[in-house]
């Protein structure tokens, strides 16, 4: 979506394929029980870009992330990461699901959950070692959860759980992070902390694709993908976050559009 290409990172495997976008989605179509969920969705995401995916309930936002990750079957189209299939670079792609999609009764501690981000590097029979544990602790420190390493995951608040799953993604040390509504159910302080961390990741040339339900924070994203089963608009936030595009995306649902007015005003106000 971003016109200029992010600089190559000489100490990263990403540098080997600098010509290809970080994520390329071409004509992706998904149906559930003969009902369309996504219709010929096409877009590219460049390296180091922060993309917000917005749209009404049932627009296919979560389905899109799962389709990109290969977690749901495609009826058509293709997805590439740095020009390759997900099977060839799965370890370079991290996923943070909605907290509502997680079984919180699974008997694991916070540290256990974060160390799961290392399993792709360890193989089927590998066990986390000292280096993996240290990486997990450092990831928890980044999200402000280092004091909770021995706490059972179900004993945490929604915002704390979200921070832990973000720490797991950080522990994986992936080049691309896909976040499904990371700000749902969190307080203002947690939302601010997550956004600060996300911006640091993009400064390190990580690429983030974020499903977002809060139209009041659109200006925080480099670009937007407006989705309602198909792509309604796609591009730099300052160019496409217009009332017309929002109405086309949300079907004129005024309660949502009223919430979007603040975002539009923020973008238009002088810096």
Quote the pTM value.
Answer: 0.81
- The DSSP code for 8 is P
pLDDT in tens, 193-245: 889 989 999 999 999 999 998 888 899 999 999 999 999 999 999 999 998 99
Listed in sequence order, the residues at least 6 apart from 195 whose beta carbon sits closer than 8 Å to its beta carbon are 217, 220
Listed in sequence order, the residues at least 6 apart from 194 whose beta carbon sits closer than 8 Å to its beta carbon are 143, 162, 163, 166, 182, 183, 186
What does the domain layout of the chain look like in residue ranges?
Answer: 19-268
Q: How far apart are CA 24 and CA 98, in angstroms?
A: 23
Question: How many whole angstroms from its chain centre is CA 154?
Answer: 23
Residue 129 clears pLDDT 90, i.e. is over it: no
pLDDT in tens, 75-88: 999 999 999 999 99
pLDDT in tens, 155-194: 888 888 888 999 999 999 999 999 999 888 788 888 888 8
CA dihedral 180, 76, 57, 113 (to 10 degrees): -20
pLDDT, position 104: 63
Based on its alpha-carbon atoms, the radius of gyration of the chain, rounded to whole angstroms, reads 18
What 3-state class would DSSP assign to 233?
Answer: strand
For all residues of the chain together, what is the average pLDDT? 83
CA distance between the termini of the chain? 23
CATH class of 19-268: alpha beta
Q: How far apart are CA 41 and CA 253, in angstroms?
A: 23
What 3-state class would DSSP assign to 148?
Answer: helix
């Amino acid at each position: 979506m971003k016109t200029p290409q992010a600089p190559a990172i000489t100490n990263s495997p990403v540098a080997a394929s600098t010509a290809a976008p970080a994520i390329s989605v071409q004509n992706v179509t998904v149906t559930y029980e003969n009902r369309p969920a996504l219709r010929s969705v096409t877009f590219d995401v460049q390296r180091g870009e922060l993309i917000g995916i917005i749209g009404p309930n049932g627009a296919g936002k979560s389905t899109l992330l799962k389709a990109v990750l290969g977690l749901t079957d495609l009826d058509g189209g293709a997805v590439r990461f740095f020009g390759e299939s997900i099977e060839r670079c799965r370890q370079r792609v991290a996923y943070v699901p909605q907290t509502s999609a997680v079984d919180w009764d699974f008997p694991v501690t916070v540290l256990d959950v974060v160390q799961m981000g290392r399993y792709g590097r360890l193989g089927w029979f590998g066990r986390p070692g000292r280096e993996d544990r240290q990486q997990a602790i450092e990831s928890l420190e980044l999200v402000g959860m280092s004091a909770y390493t021995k706490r059972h995951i179900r004993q945490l608040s929604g915002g704390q759980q979200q921070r832990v799953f973000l720490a797991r993604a950080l522990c994986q040390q992936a080049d691309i992070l896909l976040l499904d509504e990371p700000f749902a159910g969190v307080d203002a302080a947690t939302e601010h902390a997550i956004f600060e961390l996300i911006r640091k990741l993009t400064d390190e040339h990580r690429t983030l694709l974020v499903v977002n339900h809060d139209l009041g924070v659109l200006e925080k994203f480099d670009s937007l993908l407006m989705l309602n089963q198909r792509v309604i608009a796609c591009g730099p936030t300052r160019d496409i976050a217009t009332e017309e595009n929002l109405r086309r995306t949300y079907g004129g649902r005024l309660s949502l559009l009223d919430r979007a007015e603040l975002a539009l005003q923020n973008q238009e106000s002088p810096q």
